[in-house]
Structure 1
Amino acid sequence: MRLLEKLEDQSPLVLDGGLATTLEQAGCNLNSSLWSSEVLKNNPVKIKEAHQAFTDAGADILLTSTYQASYQTFSDIGLKDIEIEQLFTTAVGQIMESTASTQVIVGSLGPYGAYLSDGSEYTGDYELSYEDYFKFHRARIDALITRGIHDFVFETVPKFEEVKAIVEYIVPYYKNQTFWLSVTVDDFGNLSDGTNFEDLCEYIKKHKEEIPIFGINCSSVVGVNQAIDKGLTSLPQTIALYPNGGAQYNAETKQWESKGDSHLIIEQVSKWLKQGVKIIGGCCQTTPEDIKNIHVKINA
């Protein structure tokens, strides 16, 4: 089922949770520049099991295991094109085998900062031309389209220039796909690169046709609520929220340095629904059990 069709048929919707967190709970070592793509490469059955756990928890939308899986990421570690193609085939196969026709599969597209693997998806500390952004993202999008994925989310986007490249340069290239955009914010509710969230909202509201779904992920509940106060839920787009548990991540050690509390997300669900949010799930530090609790709240 396609994403916009599902939203028309049933809303609000439950999104899945932290794939990496779920893999770590299953004993996978993600201390690598590949992050969850390390598991996709070396132990893909664990990816399938994680997807199945979110399906069993009641998720309406599942994201592919391709957040970190850019062509550039894999070529940098010496994989040949044929090997990279096989990894995309595996990623799509594992999620399709773990979902039903009533669920929606959405292709996960991490920002350029995720490829850098230095935490810059939370700072936006990088500079590319629009053409370079397009080249980086296009190969993965095309690979997923050829494997039957037609709904996508650019997620954890920290940088206004990357947002504009996506909206004005990448999305218009594709005619039969749906793109949702999810950004990261700081605890003051501003975009991670420092852009005022009000300025981002002013821009995004003009682009409902290109970006029909917009929201925030992998940010604290505090930051999400600040962004709501700054105009998030007044946008014409469908709003999607999937925060993290609030812990701090060390990009150098690839370790969480504090303990998050995913229950903070659960506690906000009823409030967010009243504010008009239509898609709710979790990001890092959230588990299938958390998604089950969100499912119960949404369907109460």
Structure 2
Amino acid sequence: MTDPIRAFLEREGFLVVDGGLATELEALDCDLSDELWSARALLDAPDAIRTVHRRYLEAGADCIATATYQATFEAFAARGLDEAATARLMRDSVDLAVSARDDFLGGVAARPGERPERPSPARPSAGDRSPPLVAASIGPYGAFLADGSEYRGDYGLSAAELYDFHAPRWEVLAETEADVLACETTPSVEETRAYCRLAAVSHRPTWVSFQCRDGAHLADGTPLETAAALCDAEPHVVAVGVNCTDPGDTVSLIEAARRATGKPILVYPNSGEVWDAEAKRWIGPANPLDWGRSAAEWLAAGADGVGGCCRVGPSAIAAIRAGAASSRWAVTSEG
């Protein structure tokens, strides 16, 4: 098995993960107000998905995630799609990301509305960067429920039951051109066990990123160290992360994960707002974060990849890249 995360880090020293896909789709006036969330755009606005990928690449992202976080056979069946049509949409999602990356690497001019930006030392042009990665996003069971339970992890399902739920989508995405499968917002230890087994069976490089209630525990109360240790023991899980967490908890979470694994650690928190599952909107104030300074702090604490999640857009990703690049340049100069 080729490890794309480790290979990228050996070349570049750090990896910048993209920001919130749904956040930027909404900025393009996409209607995501149903249980499919960002996956709805696979039906209604595939060109918008491609535009969002390109915006994040232009901002400096080294890895873009597909619009499959909330795409499941069950959810699309409720919209009248059969299994063949659903599988095709999942493959199309990866193709959209691969196409956006290939156009970016080939220097193809951005389409109207894509807001291309001039390169800078901190955000180099495509010709100065290693090829960005495409991650096939896999959301937790709670994302399918669309009731906010991905922030609680209280499914009441066993690892075997969760394996059976995720396996059909996993099988489709494992056969695509995605560089890595990204299990995101994982709130429970049982779901972690299911993902590790799926990674082992498929022999596909996978990262598992956790949703945490505080600076030390998954949403279901499991210590992050326990879940990270499960991932450390599975060779096909090539990185461990935390995402859609409060940015104020990031350093503590990095330290907890590092105590359990020597694998790369990826951190991409949200803006600090809180998801109201009933109203289906983000509430509360955003954390007034200096994203560039925070990225440098997270790398210094032991992270290998940095980025953003919900409510974090291309401008923040550009700042994260600048902070990460400055941090690594400073370390290299001092060395």
Q: TM-score, normalised by structure 2?
A: 0.83
Q: Which residue of 2 aligns with 1:254?
A: 280
Which stretch of the first structure deviates more once superposed, 130-139 or 235-244? 130-139
Alignment CA distance shift 1:7-1:41 (3 Å): same
Q: Which residue of 1 aligns with 2:183?
A: 154
Q: Which residue of 1 aligns with 2:30?
A: 28
> Structure 1 stretches (4+) deviating beyond 6 angstroms?
none
Does 2:257 align with 1:232? yes
Alignment CA distance shift 1:209-1:137 (3 Å): same
Indicate if the aligned counterparts of 1:243 and 1:265 stay in contact, CA closer than 8 A.
Answer: no
Q: Which residue of 2 aligns with 1:73?
A: 75
Indicate if the aligned counterparts of 1:154 and 1:181 stay in contact, CA closer than 8 A.
Answer: yes
Equivalent runs, 1:48-197 vs 2, <5 Å: 48-100=50-102, 102-167=131-196, 169-175=197-203, 177-197=204-224
Which stretch of the first structure deviates more once superposed, 262-271 or 54-63? 262-271
Indicate if the aligned counterparts of 1:181 and 1:213 stay in contact, CA closer than 8 A.
Answer: yes
Q: How many residues align?
A: 296
Distance in 2 separating the partners of 1:165 and 1:274? 32
Which stretch of the first structure deviates more once superposed, 26-35 or 93-102? 93-102
CA shift digits 1:43-86 (9 cap, x unpaired): 11110110000011111111111000111221123211232123
Corresponding letter in the other structure for 1:173? V
Corresponding letter in the other structure for 1:199? T
Q: TM-score, normalised by structure 1?
A: 0.92
1:5 deviates by 2.4
Alignment CA distance shift 1:259-1:67 (3 Å): same
Indicate if the aligned counterparts of 1:105 and 1:149 stay in contact, CA closer than 8 A.
Answer: yes
SS at match of 1:99: helix
Q: Which residue of 2 aligns with 1:289?
A: 315
Corresponding letter in the other structure for 2:299? L
SS at match of 1:39: helix
Distance in 1 separating the partners of 2:222 and 2:153? 10
Alignment CA distance shift 1:248-1:152 (3 Å): same
* Consecutive unaligned residues in structure 1, runs of 5 or more: none
Give the RMSD, CA atoms, in angstroms.
Answer: 1.9
Corresponding letter in the other structure for 1:276? G
Which stretch of the first structure deviates more once superposed, 216-225 or 43-52? 216-225
1:189 deviates by 2.9
1:201 deviates by 4.3
1:265 deviates by 4.1
Q: Which residue of 1 aligns with 2:128?
A: none
Q: Which residue of 1 aligns with 2:268?
A: 242
Alignment CA distance shift 1:81-1:90 (3 Å): same
Distance in 2 separating the partners of 1:288 and 1:266? 13
Corresponding letter in the other structure for 1:267? R
Distance in 1 separating the partners of 2:97 and 2:254? 32
SS at match of 2:100: coil
